[in-house]
Amino acid sequence: MGSWIRCKCNQLVHKNLFCSTGISLVVTEEFLDVERPEESAQDLVSEIILTSERMLKCSNCGRIILLKESKDEFELRFFSPDSE
């Protein structure tokens, strides 16, 4: 699967950053509370990218998909929008 995950509606959703896929990063309060006086803005962004969950949106069904991925962890959670 590589760069893609499959939504529950069967749509393929791109999960890689920097491919103009509209992915958001979920930064926790816990992360923001840590003081990093020596860290540059660029390093902070890199740390956020490495440690944060990614928030994807399925273009087909509108589900929000939270993705937690590291070298020894892979977790997907799906959230459906309320139907009108």
Chain residues that interact with Zn ion, rule: CB under 5 A: 7, 9, 11, 58, 60-61, 63
Q: Based on C-alpha coordinates, what's the Rg of the chain?
A: 15
Nearest-approach distance from CB 7 to Zn ion, in angstroms: 3
> In this complex, which beta carbon is closest to Zn ion, that of residue 22 or of residue 27?
22
CA distance 17 to 20: 7
> In this complex, which beta carbon is closest to Zn ion, that of residue 9 or of residue 44?
9
> In this complex, which beta carbon is closest to Zn ion, that of residue 5 or of residue 7?
7
Nearest-approach distance from CB 74 to Zn ion, in angstroms: 19
